[in-house]
Amino acid sequence: MLGSGVFMLSAAVFFTRSVGLSVAQVGLGMGVGSVVGLLSGVPVGRIADRRGPREVYMLTLTVQAVAMAMLVLVHTFWLFTVVVCLTELAGSASQAARGPIVRGLAGPRPAHFRAYLRAAVNLASSIGAVPAAFVVQLDTHAGYLCLVLGNALSFVATAVIVSRLPSLPPVPAPRGSGRRSALKDHRYLVITALDGIMSIHGSVLVFALPLWIIGHTHAPRWFTGSSVLLNTAMVIFLQVRASRGIDTNAAAAHAWRRAGCAFLAGMTLIGLASGTSAWGAVLLILLGVGVHTLGELLHAAGSFELRYSLAPAYAQGQYSGVFRFGSGLASVVAPSVLAWLCLDGGTLGWLLMGGIFLSVGFVAPPVVRWAQRPRRKEAANAAPV
């Protein structure tokens, strides 16, 4: 994760300034890669369920390392697109294989364990931003190559660490239940869709907010980075705390409801920053980012619980792949949605987007109650008589 934090913050600069691709080519190639990457999660997750997640996870990390190292050979748009697609396929597969590992190692509290992981990932990414910024400032081909190879080595190091974890045997399906396909579990798919819609919030601070600050407010340009730092710091220090007590489906659903309220409040504050003075805009944006991040913490905590508890123990891999598909698709469509609503629509657009988040939050409790009914029946049938 440290290596990814180092590389991703400078990837676009590397491809445009060092490789020689245009901004449009880089955007198109990454967009194609993101879409293609969504295809690998479910099938690889199914393999992880049947063959054991640790070994599959190690294999996906190895493929990620090789694909990342291949970027040093990129010199044309088509080769760039192929390698990025391979990288995204391996990354999506890696996340699907990681799901059963988290479930197996965390015991009865996978959501709490996952909260620690998210805080650690954000900390590693923050540390990785320092050498990335240094290399971008130097702006040399050798420096960018070091970032690429350093990221590749980080995947190798992670694979070595994973090899030291205990092997997790596949969980057998209950007798007579068969192995249900996650893609046919329409209740889980509805939860995934709700999570995907709410996951659009992940692009608000990294995509919409910087453009809003620069083009629609009087806040200083340097403030774009400060708002992201506030978000990162809050995730590092508050994610675990925000996840406490969210250990049931009902608690997760109500966390989503509170997240929807927070997103509406945060989006409103950010939207109102347009037309105010420079310091007024700074104050409103800081408050908006803080409240928005509280929503992010609650949404993440609820998602951690639902993605594991609503999935059968014997199919955590493929269900993780499905759940990841929802958030992955959100990251693909989010820039277009946010550009249309928030940037083109102005303050009213920010309010509308916040209203969408609020709507998802308020329908979450009844939908989750509906989605968990089959799990209760399975648990009752599996209980000894």
CA pair distance 311, 182, nearest whole angstrom = 8
Give the residue among 334, 340, 341, 343 at the shortest CA–CA distance from 355: 341
* pLDDT tens digits along 271-321: 999 989 999 999 999 999 999 999 999 999 999 999 999 999 899 999 999
**Per-residue pLDDT averaged across 210-234, rounded?**
89
**Per-residue pLDDT averaged across 244-249, rounded?**
94
What domains are defined for the chain?
A: 2-163 (1.20.1250.20), 182-378 (1.20.1250.20)
User: Which of helix, strand or coil describes residue 194?
Assistant: helix
CA pair distance 158, 164, nearest whole angstrom = 10
Q: With a threshold of 0.95, does the pTM exceed it?
A: no
In this prediction, residue 383 carries a pLDDT of: 45
Which tokens belong to 325? 């598909």
CA pair distance 49, 81, nearest whole angstrom = 30
In this prediction, residue 175 carries a pLDDT of: 66
Residues near 161 by beta carbon (within 8 Å), at least 6 away in sequence: none
CA pair distance 136, 269, nearest whole angstrom = 33
The answer, yes or no, to whether residue 108 has pLDDT greater than 80, is: no
CA pair distance 289, 286, nearest whole angstrom = 5
* 3-class SS letters over 127-161: HHHHHHHHHHHHCCHHHHHHHHHHHHHHHHHHHHH
* pLDDT tens digits along 124-145: 877 777 777 777 777 788 888 8
Q: Is the pLDDT higher at 333 or at 126?
A: 333
- Only one residue has tokens 């697609």, namely 85
CA pair distance 341, 349, nearest whole angstrom = 4
Q: Is the pLDDT higher at 109 or at 184?
A: 184
In this prediction, residue 7 carries a pLDDT of: 61
Decide if 317 contacts 46 (C-beta within 8 A). Answer: yes
